[in-house]
Structure formats: structure tokens, C-alpha cells
Amino acid sequence: MLEPERTVDVENPAEALRNESGIFQVTSPYGQVFQVTCRKGSNMRIREIGALDNTAVAHSKRWRIQKLMRPLACD
């Protein structure tokens, strides 16, 4: 389980987030940035929130995931 403010690099973000709950910032290898909300037993909600400039994009096949916060108890 990812802790808030922790960042990991993975090859498959869907697999990495499968059993997670919380709100995550996910950055693709090409620089697209998404907000992903996960709740155990529910589908992931994915929203594109922007893109990094070309100079900041790593030339890697790995995705970067950062946990922003835990879900609210009422969600």
C-alpha cells in the first residue's frame, strides 16, 4: 500500500493501483499527467490534468505514481 506523498515508478499503473484506495497523481512516460481516484471494489476514476513540458519528460517506459491523499470516509 502506498503512503501519502510517496512516489513509485512502475511499468503498469493499473496493476500497481489495483488494490489501492486514495487519490493519486500518475505521470505517463510521455509526460501526460492524470489524477486517479481509487476505491477498493470500485472502478478507477481517471481525469487528465495536464502535461509536463518536453524538457521534463523522462525517456523511460515507466509510469510515475504519487499518492496525494487517502479517500474520505464518506466516499
Sorted by where each begins, the domain ranges of the chain are 7-69
- Mean pLDDT score of the chain, rounded to an integer? 85
**pLDDT of residue 54 exceeding 70:** no
pLDDT in tens, 17-40: 998 999 999 999 989 999 999 988
54 touches 72 (CB < 8 A) = no
Read off the pLDDT of each residue in 2-9 and give the average, rounded to a whole number.
84
Question: Cα 60 vs. chain centroid, distance in angstroms?
Answer: 16
Of the pLDDT bands very low, low, confident and very high (cuts 50, 70, 90), residue 75 is: very low
What is the three-state SS of the chain? CCCCCCEEEECCHHHHCCCCCEEEEEECCCCEEEEEEECCCCCCEEEEEEECCHHHCCCCCCEEEEEEECCCCCC
Say what the pTM is: 0.80
